[in-house]
Amino acid sequence: MQRRNFLKTLGGTPLVGLAPYLKNKTIIKPARLKVGDTIGLVCPAAPAYSKEKVKILVESMEALGLKVKFGKHIWERYGYLAGRDAERAADINDFFKDTSISGIVCMHGGWGCARLLPYLDYDLIRQNPKVIIGYSDITALLLGIHSQTGLVTFHGPEGAATWNTFTVDYFKSVLMKAEATLFKNPSIIGDNLTVVKDRINTLYEGMATGRLLGGNLTVLCHLIGSNYLPDWTDAVFFCEDVDEAPYSMDRMITHLKLSGILEKIKGFVFGKCTECYPSSGEYSYGSLTLEDVWEDHIRPLKKPAFSGAMIGHISHKFTIPIGINASIDANLGTIQLSESAVV
């Protein structure tokens, strides 16, 4: 079913004619990235503060055999944003329209992507499906675009990420090799007696299969009540966050529960909560831990669930497709794609 009466008003104002997410919307897979393809670099939220980081990104893409074209406004500054909303959205619309561009990489997160959602041309995006990837605040774009078009989007490294072997291997497996990838944490013991780093914590045993949906928890929660979230029925929900105290995580997981999302899902995967310590001051006394939060809210669901996946504000990360069916094994802490995410 297509959206009707899609109009664009004059003066850089938002596009209108938005349709809510349809449960039976056809899933659209973008074309895989190939050596020689050109990536469009955009700043949909924070500006490109560091020319050196942009240069590192360009060199990293070139090492993968990809070329880079800059969005017109990546060097713009409007406070903590890379230019006005209409300008940042125009870079995204332009790259989806540009036939020389095969994929879009977001340079930074920060804040500002949700402000772009009314400005995106979803008919254009649906008719010109391409890879778009990022994490953190980019969650708003990934979920908004997927919910409105059915396009598979990708929660993974952004331009300023560390393009190490672990990250690159999953990026290539999902986006270039078109594999039905198995996502599994590293299990390096080193000189310890057991695995200490990047451990999996099984919250509720079992296996589950469903569409992968999720992203940054804070950003996602701020979209609840809008038309820019997908239908969560039978989904495998994944999320991550950074610099949030346990009480804040408790509040957001409670929000998911009260909104009915947790009731609908088939399984739950939490990645990393980087720098998520109790807040300082009197309110830190007797703080719950994240493990307590999972015990209070996730384990009682009696649905397969685990935490510790390589998803989040970390240097070594998975590239997770949004909208593709996958199976999780909460005992092993693995995610297995049921099919390729690109064609």
Give the domain CATH number at 126.
Answer: 3.40.50.10740
256 lies in which domain range? 182-280+288-337
Q: Has residue 126 been placed in a domain?
A: yes
Please say if the pLDDT value at position 12 is more than 60. no
Boundary of a domain, candidates 135, 163, 191: 163
Q: Is the pLDDT of residue 8 over 90?
A: no
Do residues 40 and 133 share a domain? Answer: yes
Reported as a single tens digit per residue, the pLDDT across 115-160 is 999 999 999 999 999 999 999 999 999 999 999 999 999 999 999 8
> Among 163, 197, 231, which residue terminates a domain?
163
pLDDT of 109 over the 50 cut: yes
Contact 156, 319 (CB under 8 A): yes
Question: What whole-number distance in Å separates Cα of residue 11 and Cα of residue 33?
Answer: 35
Mean pLDDT of 261-273: 98
> Nearest-CA neighbor of 294 among 196, 202, 217, 183?
202
End residue of a domain, out of 111, 131, 163: 163
* 101 and 73 Cβ atoms separated by less than 8 Å: no
Packing angle, helices 246-258 and 290-297, rounded to 10: 20
pLDDT, mean of residues 69-88: 96
- The pLDDT score that the predictor gives to residue 245 is 93
Exposure of 172 by Cβ count < 10 A (0-12 exposed, 13-18 middle, 19+ buried)?
A: middle
User: 125 vs 10, which has greater pLDDT?
Assistant: 125
Between CA 319 and CA 103 the distance in angstroms is: 14
Q: Residue 234 above 90 pLDDT?
A: yes
- pLDDT higher for 105 or 6? 105
On whether residue 8 sits in a domain, the answer given is: no
Question: Are 159 and 186 in a shared domain?
Answer: no
Mean pLDDT is lowest, of 1-5, 151-155, 331-335, for: 1-5
146 is catalytic: no
7 falls within a domain = no
Is 295 an annotated catalytic residue?
no
Same domain for 73 and 34: yes
Domain assignment of residue 169, yes or no: no
pLDDT of residue 278: 85
Tell me if 231 is assigned to some domain.
yes
Q: 114 and 186, same structural domain?
A: no
Same domain, 120 and 42: yes
Q: Are residues 194 and 157 in the same domain?
A: no
In a domain, 6, yes or no: no
Is residue 252 domain-shared with residue 154, that is, in the same domain?
A: no
DSSP 143-154: HHHHHHH-B-EE
Choosing from 60, 102, 136, 327, which is the catalytic residue? Answer: 136
Q: What is the overall mean pLDDT for the chain?
A: 92
The pLDDT-based confidence of 279 (bands split at 50, 70, 90) is confident
185 three-state secondary structure = coil
Q: Is the dihedral of CA 32, 184, 198, 286 positive or negative?
A: positive
Annotated active-site residue in 146, 297, 313, 316:
313
Instruction: State mean pLDDT over 13-36.
Output: 73
Structure pTM?
A: 0.93
Domain shared by 196 and 230, yes or no:
yes
pLDDT of residue 13: 56
Nearest CA to 36 among 103, 92, 131?
103
Contacts of 63 (CB under 8 A, 6+ apart): 163
CATH of the domain at 333: 3.50.30.60
- To the query of whether residue 313 is one of the catalytic residues in this protein, the response is yes
**Does the pLDDT at position 11 exceed 50?**
no
Select which of 60, 102, 108, 240 is catalytic. Answer: 240
Q: How many domains does the chain have?
A: 2
Residue 282 pLDDT:
60
Q: Give the contacts of 220 (CB within 8 A, at least 6 positions apart).
A: 139, 143, 214, 229, 239
Q: Both 104 and 233 in a single domain?
A: no
Together in a domain, 148 and 202: no
Cα-flanking dihedrals φ and ψ of residue 217, to 5°? -65, -45
Q: What percent of the chain has pLDDT over 70?
A: 91
Gap between the Cα atoms of 40 and 75, Å rounded: 14
Model confidence at 256, pLDDT cuts 50, 70, 90, reads very high
Instruction: Categorize the per-residue pLDDT at 5 as very low, low, confident or very high, splitting at 50, 70 and 90.
Output: very low
Q: CB-based contacts of 289: which residues, under 8 Å, 6+ apart?
A: 246
Q: Are residues 189 and 156 in the same domain?
A: no
Split at pLDDT 50, 70, 90, the class of 277 is: confident
Q: Say if 216 falls within a structural domain.
A: yes
- Are 190 and 312 members of one domain? yes
* Contact present, 123 and 96 (Cβ < 8 Å): no
pLDDT band at 286 (very low <50, low <70, confident <90, very high): confident
165-178 per-position pLDDT tens digit: 999 999 999 999 99
Give the H/E segment covering residue 96: helix 85-97
Tokens encoding 281: 């001051």
Dig out the tokens for 87 from the structure.
């300008």
Q: Report whether pLDDT(291) > 50.
A: yes
Mean pLDDT of the region 103-117: 96
- C-alpha angle 125-129-134 in degrees, rounded to nearest 5: 85
> Does residue 62 belong to any structural domain of this protein?
yes
